[in-house]
Amino acid sequence: MKKLDIRKAFTYLEEGPIILVGVNDGKKNNLMAISWTMVLDFSGRFALCTGDWNESFKTLMKTKECTLNIPPVSLLEKVVKIGDCDGSKVDKFKEFKLTALKGKKTSAPLVKECLASFECRVEKYLSEESILILQVVAAYENEEIQDRREIHAIGDGTFVIDGEKRDLRSLMKDKIPEGL
């Protein structure tokens, strides 16, 4: 995977895709599928809504690190199955034939088959709201994946895939962060 400017990481999250969150508890890797995410600024700061209903949450809070991985449409079935099985019983990387790559800043696994992957550190957890605040510390893109459409969960078991793109840069020049 190729290095990506951290300031561009938000362009993979702003459109609201379902993502895979990777953790490592020192013994094994785990993955969870999450749709409840939010961009917080242009520096690679993100919020996730998660809590102890997610198996990976304990590891996340203990290690204070994770990866966010953006799956392409070709992984849709695997993403759903990852969200529907228990990482304490299954090695999800093995079960779903995904490749865990080592990051440079954390011990959490990057998913090679994803469009982009971000190594993150936990900044804080707002327990009353179940909101986790993350800061990206390294970002990568897998440019070899041809079909770059992302997956969006509706929440009722159906999903919508990225369709046509529209360029309206000319209407909002003053709102686009520098370098994008």
**Cα 16 to Cα 37, 151, 170, distances in angstroms:** 7, 9, 23
Q: Which two tokens stand for residue 116?
A: 């982009």
- Which CB, 24 or 69, lies closer to its own copies? 69
Per-residue x/- track, 22-41, its own copies (CB under 8 A): -------------xxxxxxx
Q: CA 113, CA 93: separation in Å to the nearest integer? A: 11
How many other C-beta atoms lie within 10 A of the C-beta of residue 91?
Answer: 13
- Using rule CB under 8 A, residue 137 touches its own copies: no
- Is residue 176 near its own copies by the rule CB under 8 A? yes
| CA–CA gap between residue 32 and residue 35 (Å, rounded) | 10
Asked if 84 interacts with its own copies (CB under 8 A), we say yes
> At 169, is the secondary structure helix, strand, or coil?
helix
Shortest separation between residue 107's beta carbon and its own copies, angstroms? 26
Q: By rule CB under 8 A, what count of residues binds its own copies?
A: 55
Q: Which of 27, 89, 97, 165 binds its own copies (CB under 8 A)?
A: 165
| Pairwise CA distance, residues 178 & 79, whole Å | 33
Residue 46 backbone phi and psi in degrees, to 5: -130, 155
One residue of 61, 80, 101, 137 binding its own copies per CB under 8 A: 80
State in angstroms the smallest separation of the CB of 12 from its own copies.
9
Listed in sequence order, the residues at least 6 apart from 119 whose beta carbon sits closer than 8 Å to its beta carbon are 65, 67, 103, 104, 105, 106, 108, 110, 136, 137, 138, 139
Q: Is 146 in the site for its own copies (CB under 8 A)?
A: no
Q: Which stretch binds its own copies (CB under 8 A): 23-31, 64-72, 111-119, 161-169?
A: 161-169
Closest CB 85 distance from its own copies, rounded Å? 10
Q: Nearer Cβ to its own copies, position 68 or 153?
A: 153
Residue position matching structure tokens 């690679």: 44
Residues that bind its own copies (CB under 8 A): 10-11, 14-17, 35-41, 47, 49, 76-77, 80-81, 83-84, 126, 129-131, 133, 149-150, 152-177, 180
